[in-house]
Amino acid sequence: MSTPKTIHLGEIGVQQRTREALAASAITPGMLVERLPADTFQAHSTALAGMLVMVAIEDNQQGNGIDVVYATGVRVFANAYGSGDLFFGLLDDGETVVIGDELESAGNGYVQKFTSGVVIGIARSAVDMSDSSSADPSPRIIVEVV
């Protein structure tokens, strides 16, 4: 499979639903996000926790790709995903996963290999982020929501 150029990879389950809010801090497309009481988005901040799987998508209305970061105060677009949906997420530094590994929130907007939290997805691509951050490949990973 060639490298996706979009975060939303289609679904085999429930139709995704797009949400909008201002960024409380910088957000990279592919990050897990959560809505704050001030009606803003930030990177999902609770490691291992269950969550509504909401993922920042690229701002294609402005012609921005998946590597264009939303700055603080800018309108962020995010999809809420359900079981069976696929997205191009971000794997936390230091992690290595293979296809079929269970994933959970790393508490920084990224996913990590399941340890003891709540499984939110299954790896549909293999990614090795175990080297130092300067030697790692792209942290992008295809995730199927459970």
Q: What is the pLDDT of residue 3?
A: 82
Q: What is the pLDDT of residue 14?
A: 52
Q: What is the pLDDT of residue 138?
A: 86
Structure tokens at 34: 């959560």
Q: What is the pLDDT of residue 133?
A: 57
Domains of the chain by residue range: 8-145
CA dist 132 and 40 (Å) reads: 32
Contact assessment for residue 135 and residue 122, using Cβ atoms and an 8 Å cutoff:
no
The domain 8-145 is placed in CATH, from the list 1.10.1140, 2.40.300, 1.10.3470, 3.30.410, at 2.40.300
Question: What is the end-to-end Cα distance of the chain in Å, rounded?
Answer: 22
Main-chain phi, psi angles of 47, to 5 degrees: -60, 145
Q: What is the pLDDT of residue 4?
A: 86
Q: What angle do CA 21, 87, 120 make, to 5 degrees?
A: 85
Contact assessment for residue 56 and residue 29, using Cβ atoms and an 8 Å cutoff:
yes
CA dist 135 and 84 (Å) reads: 32
Across the 146 residues of the chain, what is the mean pLDDT of every consecutive 10-residue run? 82 69 97 95 94 94 93 96 93 95 97 96 94 72 96
Q: What is the pLDDT of residue 12?
A: 52
Q: What is the pLDDT of residue 146?
A: 93
Query: What is the enclosing helix (H) or strand (E) of 76?
Result: strand 75-80
Q: What is the pLDDT of residue 17?
A: 84
Length of the chain: 146
Entry pTM: 0.91
